Every structure is written in C-alpha cells, then in structure tokens.
Amino acid sequence: MIGMLTGDELERYDRQIIVRGFGKEGQERLKRTRVFIAGAGGLGSPIATYLAAAGVGMIRLADHDRVELSNLNRQVLHWDDDIGRSKVDSATEKLKKLNPEVKVEAIGEMITEANVSRLAAGFDLIVDAMDNLPTRYLLNRTALEMDIPFFHGAVYGFEGRVMTVIPGETACLGCVYRGAIPEEKFPVVGVTPAVIGCIQATEVIKYIVGIGQLLTNRLLVYDGLNMKFTEFRVKKDPNCEHCGKIVRGKG
Amino acid sequence: MSVRVNIHPRLYQFTGDQAVAEVSGNTVGQCLDDLVRQFPEIKKGLFGKDGKLLNYVDIYVNLESSYPEELSKPIREGDELHITLLIGGG
C-alpha cells in the first residue's frame, strides 16, 4: 500500500517517529508527499538534504546552473570534484546516497513562465530556493494559481527571511514585497542559507505532518550579525496583485 | 517624543555601525527625516531622487508593515520602527 513504511524505514526514521505528534502516520504522510524544490544552490542544498533525510517521498529539484568554484562556500551539496557538473545531477547523486528510499528527479532547466506550471504540476508543495526575486514572484503566482502551499526563503550576507504561504488563506509574497531589487552579485556567508534553508525544511515537515504553528502571516527575519530573529506580522492584502482575488480552493 | 528606530545592517555604513537610533516625529516620514538629520548619508539608502522611499525599503511600525500609508503613517510616543530592505539571494 502506498505510503506504508518498511521495516528499514521504521528504523531509519525512528528518532522522528517518536517525536510527539509525529508518529508513523506523520512519517507515512512524508512518504506520500511530492515536493518541488526550485533551486539547487545555497538554499536548495540544506532544504533538499533535510527533506531527503526526513523521508519525503519524492523531490523534484530544478536548476539550470553548473557548479562553480565560487559556489562552494555555501552550496554544500556540491563538492570540489563537482565543479563543471550540472547542479541537479551533483545534488541528486548525493541525495540518493543519503537516502535511497527517496525518489529524486533532476530537472536541468531554467524556471520560466513557459515551464513553471509543468514543473509544479502533480506536486504537493513548492519550496523557494531561488537566487532572484523575479523567479520568486513567478513561483508565488504559480503556487497561488495551482493552489499549492509555497515556502519562501531568501538570504543576503548574514541576513535571511522566511515565510510560508497557504494560497487563499494567508498573506503571499505579493502582499509583503512590492519592490524590485537592484541586480548585483549578492554577498553571502554559507551559514546563512543553512539557517534559512533548515527553517524552510522545518516548515515543510510541519505542514506535511500537520503539527506546530506555521510561519503564515508572519515574516521571520534572521539577523546573523546581531544574532536576532525578528517576527513581523503581515496581512493578506485584498488589493495584492498576486493573490487579491484568490479564495482557498478556487485558485 | 521619542521613537526607537532599528536600522537594517546594510545601512550601518551610513550610521557608523549604529544599529539603533532615537528619533522624534509624528509620522513615519518625520521620523525618517529626523534620522537623516542625524545621519545625512543614510538618505541615499532610503530615498530615491524623487524623495519617495526606495521600492525595496519597507518600514515596519511595532512589527507591522507601514504599507500602504508608509511615510504618512502616524506615530505615537514609544512606537518602534524597523527599517528593512528587500533581499533576494539564495
């Protein structure tokens, strides 16, 4: 039966199955879930690693880039020997070694308006691991249109932010962000996407298992320099260009 | 009237690494004007040539967005502002 756990899986996931509120049922939910991770770089590395380790049933990983030396301070799924390889191939190889029970699909395409719906079709969740704002907006709109929960994260230097979007119910990226940012080579210390990506993965696991409080209508901002987390309250904007007209289940 | 302003780390270059400032004003705009009076260089990190807030700057008042009023949003004694900058890296 789909989602039933094998003896090996019960042993592999034993320490999380015994978490209060998790149980075998939560683990079976993870196994049944298909997650689309948009990006296999700084954020994508910890997100994919911890979702694979946790036993998500299927991960689709999309990224068109190849591994460069300058990626290695933060994109920890890619190693020195991987320089020049496709990022999704490099990542998929590691993830399959980490957890052969998880199906990992590598998509070496740039995410665009033309293919984003196809890439997200059939998936239960979309996780934002992008390195630019326009593609984040595209993913946010796609998630809303397809009624798929969306897990946002972004980093810069020692700073990061995270927010979870439930279409039709909560504030979306368009309710919170109205601007564009100047194009630049953004600075980043590897530990920052590690912190933010792990928070995104935590949100995904909680959502799937159905425990805890999600970061919905809350924007969590991490300031690693001063080691502070600040939580801003955000509201669904009825005039939002992305979600203003969307009601849950009618995306 | 005293209002505490938390300055975004990327703007520390304009404040001599000062993370928090005390300002006065009856609106967000007046508070930012007072901040600029104290740290004139920060103006280019907050405002465009048209005098409007840069579109990647968000001001939160007591942890809630000041949008859509933004600069005209009223401020009371003891309120706390956070200046945040949009980020997009990954």
Query: Predicted confidence band at A250 (pLDDT cuts at 50, 70, 90)?
Result: very low
Interatomic CA distance for residues A138 and B86, integer angstroms: 17
* Half-sphere exposure of residue A128: CA atoms within 13 angstroms, side-chain side: 34
**CA–CA distance from A204 to each of A50, A54, A109, A199, A201 (Å)?**
10, 11, 24, 9, 5
What is the mean pLDDT of the segment spanning A25-53? 98
Burial B11-20 (b: 16+ CB within 10 A, else e): beebbeeebe
Cβ contact, residue pair A157, B88, below 8 Å: no
Q: Which residue of chain B has the CA closest to A43?
A: B90
Query: Predicted confidence band at A182 (pLDDT cuts at 50, 70, 90)?
Result: confident
Radius of gyration of chain A (CA): 17
Give chain A positions within 8 Å (CB) of B45. none
- The answer, yes or no, to whether ipTM is higher than 0.85 is yes
Q: Is the pTM of this model over 0.90?
A: yes
pLDDT score of A89 more than 60: yes
Kindly report the nearest CA distance between residue B67 and chain A, in angstroms. Answer: 9
pLDDT score of A3 more than 80: no
Cβ contact, residue pair B9, A231, below 8 Å: no
Q: What average pLDDT does chain A have?
A: 95
Residue spans of chain B under pLDDT 70: none
Q: What is the predicted pLDDT for the residue at B1? A: 74
Cβ contact, residue pair B90, A128, below 8 Å: yes
Q: What is the predicted pLDDT for the residue at A183? A: 82
Distance from CA of residue A231 to its chain's centroid?
Answer: 19
Strand partners, A59: A35, A104
Cβ contact, residue pair B90, A234, below 8 Å: no
Q: Which residues of B fall below an 8 Å CB-CB distance to A? A: 6, 9-10, 19, 54-57, 60, 63-65, 67, 82, 84, 86-90
- Backbone angles phi and psi of B63, in degrees to 5: 70, 10
Out of B64, B65, B86, name the one closest to residue A179 (CB). B86
The domain spans of chain A are 33-233
Give residue-wise pLDDT tens across range A120-143: 999 999 999 999 999 999 999 999
What is the mean pLDDT of the segment spanning A141-154? 98
Cβ contact, residue pair A181, B54, below 8 Å: no
CATH placement of domain B3-85: 3.10.20.30
Q: What is the predicted pLDDT for the residue at A246? A: 66
pLDDT score of A251 more than 80: no
- Backbone angles phi and psi of A127, in degrees to 5: -115, 130
Out of A155, A182, A225, name the one closest to residue B89 (CB). A155
Q: Which CATH number fits domain A33-233: 3.30.1020.10, 3.40.50.720, 3.30.70.380, 2.60.40.10?
A: 3.40.50.720
Q: What is the predicted pLDDT for the residue at A1? A: 60
Tell me, yes or no, if A130 comes closer than 8 A to chain B by beta carbon.
Answer: yes
If one compares A65 and B55, the residue with the highest pLDDT of the two is A65
What is the mean pLDDT of the segment spanning A59-81? 98
pLDDT score of A249 more than 90: no
